Copies of this chain bind each other. A is one copy, B any other.
Amino acid sequence: MPSTTRESGSRSRTRRAILDAAIALLATRPQASLAEVADAAGVGRSTLHRYFPERTELLSAVVEDSMAQLTAAVAAAELDRGTPAQGLRRIIHTYFELSPVLLVLFGEHLIDTRKDLVGDLDELDAPVFALLERGQREGYFDAEVSKEWLNRVLWAVVYVGIDATAEGTMTRHAALESITRTLEHGMLARPGA
List chain A positions with a Cβ less than 8 A from chain B.
31, 88, 136, 139-146, 148-150, 152-154, 156-157, 159-160, 163-164, 169-170, 178, 181-192
Contacts and interface: CB of A to CB of B under 8 A. Distances in A.
A156 B143 CA distance: 21
Nearest to A150: B187
Contacts of A136: 189
A42 B186 CA distance: 44
A183 B140 CA distance: 17
Cβ-closest 3 pairs across A and B: A186-B186, A191-B191, A156-B156
Nearest to A144: B181
B189 A143 contact: yes
User: How many identical chains are in the complex?
Assistant: 2
A106 to B, nearest CB: 10
A141 B31 CA distance: 39
A153 B160 contact: yes
17 contacts: A140-B188, A140-B189, A141-B188, A141-B189, A142-B182, A142-B185, A145-B182, A146-B178, A150-B187, A152-B163, A153-B182, A184-B187, A184-B188, A185-B188, A186-B186, A186-B191, A191-B191
Contacts of A186: 142, 182-186, 191
A160 B157 CA distance: 10
A169 B184 contact: no
Given A142-B188, A143-B189, A182-B186, 7 more contacts: A142-B181, A142-B187, A145-B178, A183-B187, A184-B188, A185-B186, A191-B192
A65 B189 CA distance: 36
Contacts of A181: 142, 144-145
